[in-house]
Amino acid sequence: MIIREKQNPIITKEQIKPTAENLVVVGVFNCGAVKYRDEIILLLRVAEAIANQNSEVIQIPIADRKIKNGYSIKEIAKDYHKYDFNDSRFIYKLDGKRQIENLTSISHFRLARSKDGVNFIVDQVPTIFPETVYEEWGIEDPRITHLEGSYYITYTAVSKYGVCVGLIKTDDFIQFQRLGIIFSPENKDTVLFPEQINGKYYAYHRPVPTEIGYPDIWLSSSTDLLHWGEHEHILSVATNDWSQQRIGAGAPPIKTKAGWLNIYHGADNDGKYYLSSFLTSLDDPGRIIKIANKPLLTPTEDYERIGFYPNVVFTCGAIMENDMIDIYYGAADDKIAKASISLDDLLSLHD
Amino acid sequence: MIIREKQNPIITKEQIKPTAENLVVVGVFNCGAVKYRDEIILLLRVAEAIANQNSEVIQIPIADRKIKNGYSIKEIAKDYHKYDFNDSRFIYKLDGKRQIENLTSISHFRLARSKDGVNFIVDQVPTIFPETVYEEWGIEDPRITHLEGSYYITYTAVSKYGVCVGLIKTDDFIQFQRLGIIFSPENKDTVLFPEQINGKYYAYHRPVPTEIGYPDIWLSSSTDLLHWGEHEHILSVATNDWSQQRIGAGAPPIKTKAGWLNIYHGADNDGKYYLSSFLTSLDDPGRIIKIANKPLLTPTEDYERIGFYPNVVFTCGAIMENDMIDIYYGAADDKIAKASISLDDLLSLHD
């Protein structure tokens, strides 16, 4: 039985200090999670928009390398013949093929610490801020993997060039080193395995093709974490009712007696997001042992159903200790919640 | 001045023996080109369809690993409410988002040899045939790079999983070794550099994102040719009139006194394909020195304007000897033609 934390949501946007006075925090969600020393560390995705918008134009923050932790502002006229403003997350162009003109907000990462995994103290300033040309529209959905003594953060880098996957390394959560783009567009939802398997590093990732194929989960290997290959298709959308539209890896794989435990998300045809899981062979992450035949978590609570983007539960990190798994997840794209389940109960969803 | 070969087209589908009796060759085009010993070798893309179709259904060949050099047949009812048959290359589903149900033909590779670069003898049987699950809808657009004594073929692998890039190695054009998928979907138009630069291998490739970004050219590096990273955006669509819709690397880079010479294709908003070129720094393939300000080749001849897919000139291989460049190219997606230009004349298009 999965049990939601009774203090849910455990982190809300009201707790986050905006990066600058002209910004408003529109969401804190999709966080990486790891145990570091005697604390639980969450790396939060914080989305900000320009505060006090007037009615004539929409102002969009764009990361600007000339300004330390700062944004320049792009203005888009509210021209309903030219743009579609119906999605809270994106502004679509109406000419020709459906292209996104801009996001409505921009995300950076903020560190939060806790002794009990429920009450978190959130840093007052950005921990990792968009910096490169591939991050001008923001950095999103960090996953943290503890690997060979260091912590590796895989994240979504968004810019006019597309949606791709970046890698950052840290040993102490104070200094962070960018290691470049590891998957070219269009790709996201990348999780690194916490150890080498048969002498290679592995990752699941989720490319998005256009007219042939679907947003499925793929496996890749690496010998240095920077260069990836031997790409292999692993899991298709629409293998069940809660994954008709899209799927993607969620928390980095957790090693269990039954195999690598992979908590992933699926979205149904209504765009409602669920969490579920699949197991892969400990010595071959390309071999699926079992896929859960029911969802692990469905958006049923108000904080999961109502928000910046409704009906979403989306995880980037889960921590297993003593066979109990704590799942930290973004709820309705604007708050962070937590749910816990025993390993045995989770594995029983696969029967 | 670019000069078309007077025997153009130099290879046509009438010269190609079908792989099996129930097949018809619908095109021979987009070929890799390399000098090997005292011969010019072309690796032809040969597209085949099922012969003698009846009027009720369309029969599609699908590569079948259970049959040596053979296809199984998928039948699609000619239901005009369900499918769009207007593109000669693809069958589109009409429900929901624009997805391709199947290609109308399937491609494999066939070797052709010539002493004079004009009169070619084409193998009677497939040289490289679709084999893996990523190739069930065919293999397309091979580029050959001579690198450290071996020949590496980058090619497009097409299947229900999407369009991705495979790598094959050969030392003799008799034995071929598959080295796996080097770029996950959606990607194509990948060319390897013919030597290491500052201790790394490099490739240009052309990912296709969905709603953010465009089909642009990217650069990646590798230390082993199998795993690729350090992805970097190089060249955008719509930098000129002949590349509004898409671009992609063409022939593998040619080392010249002026820099790496890259002959690439662009398509305008009418879907008409052109060849053009850009130059990159010899010690930094990520630095563009110049982009040609006029096309190198425009489809003007009947054999370029009329065919399986009209108005296409598309190269996968060019050979430079004594500062003369021979460009082998697919014309209208069903025949092979050749055009030649001196290096100085080509470079003058950049002024």
What is the pTM assigned to this prediction?
Answer: 0.97
Q: How many CB atoms lie within 10 A of CB A26?
A: 24
**Residue B270: pLDDT over 80:** yes
- Mean pLDDT, residues A30-51: 97
**Residue B54: pLDDT over 90:** no
pLDDT tens readout for residues A173-220 = 999 999 999 999 999 999 999 999 999 999 999 999 999 999 999 999
**Chain A contact for B205, CB < 8 A?**
yes
Compute the residue count for chain A: 351
Residue A289, CA atoms < 13 Å, CB-side half-sphere: 18
- Mean pLDDT, residues B138-153: 98
What are the angstrom distances between the C-alpha of B89 and each of A63, B47, B60, B118, B187?
41, 10, 11, 28, 18
Confidence of residue B145 (pLDDT cuts 50, 70, 90): very high
The confidence score (pLDDT) of residue B345 equals: 97
ipTM over 0.90: yes
**Residue A68: pLDDT over 90:** no
* Bridge partner list, B116: none
| CB nearest to A212's CB, from B162, B207, B224 | B162
Antiparallel, parallel or unpaired: β A273-281 and A259-267: antiparallel
| Lowest-confidence pick of A244-258, A336-350, B90-104 | B90-104
CA distance A118 to A336: 10
The confidence score (pLDDT) of residue A238 equals: 83
Which percentage of chain A shows pLDDT scores above 90?
Answer: 93
CA distance A31 to A41: 10
Interface residue of A227, A244, A247 to substitute, partner B, most B CBs within 10 Å? A227
CA distance A295 to A239: 12
- Mean pLDDT, residues A159-173: 98
**Residue B283: pLDDT over 80:** yes
Instruction: Identify the three-state secondary structure at position A93.
Output: strand
| CB nearest to A207's CB, from B185, B211, B220 | B185
A162–B228 CB contact, under 8 Å: no
Confidence of residue B238 (pLDDT cuts 50, 70, 90): confident
User: Could you tell me the CATH number of the domain that includes residue A158?
Assistant: 2.115.10.20
The confidence score (pLDDT) of residue A210 equals: 94
A230–B180 CB contact, under 8 Å: yes
Q: Of A98, A125, A48, A120, which Cα lies nearest the Cα of A336?
A: A120
The confidence score (pLDDT) of residue B69 equals: 77
The confidence score (pLDDT) of residue A54 equals: 81
The residue type at A341: I
- Mean pLDDT, residues B248-255: 98
More confident residue, A65 or B271: B271
| CB nearest to A209's CB, from B185, B218, B231 | B185
- Mean pLDDT, residues B3-21: 97
Average pLDDT score, chain A: 96
**Residue B98: pLDDT over 90:** no
The confidence score (pLDDT) of residue A275 equals: 98
Maximum Cα interatomic distance, chain B, rounded to a whole number of Å: 59
The confidence score (pLDDT) of residue B239 equals: 84
* Bridge partner list, A294: none
CA distance B276 to B346: 9
The confidence score (pLDDT) of residue B285 equals: 98
**Chain B contact for A294, CB < 8 A?**
no
Count of domains in chain B?
1
The confidence score (pLDDT) of residue A175 equals: 98
pLDDT tens readout for residues A111-147 = 999 999 999 999 999 999 999 999 999 999 999 999 9
CA distance B180 to A31: 34
Terminal-to-terminal C-alpha distance of chain A: 14
Q: How many CB atoms lie within 10 A of CB A294?
A: 13
CA distance A246 to A101: 22
- H/E segment holding residue A302: helix A302-305
A186: preceding bond cis by omega (within 30 degrees): yes
- Mean pLDDT, residues B281-304: 97
* Bridge partner list, B12: B335
**Chain B contact for A133, CB < 8 A?**
yes
Its domain, for residue B105, covers: 3-348
CA distance A318 to A250: 9
**Residue B96: pLDDT over 80:** no
B68 CA: distance to closest CA in chain A (Å): 23
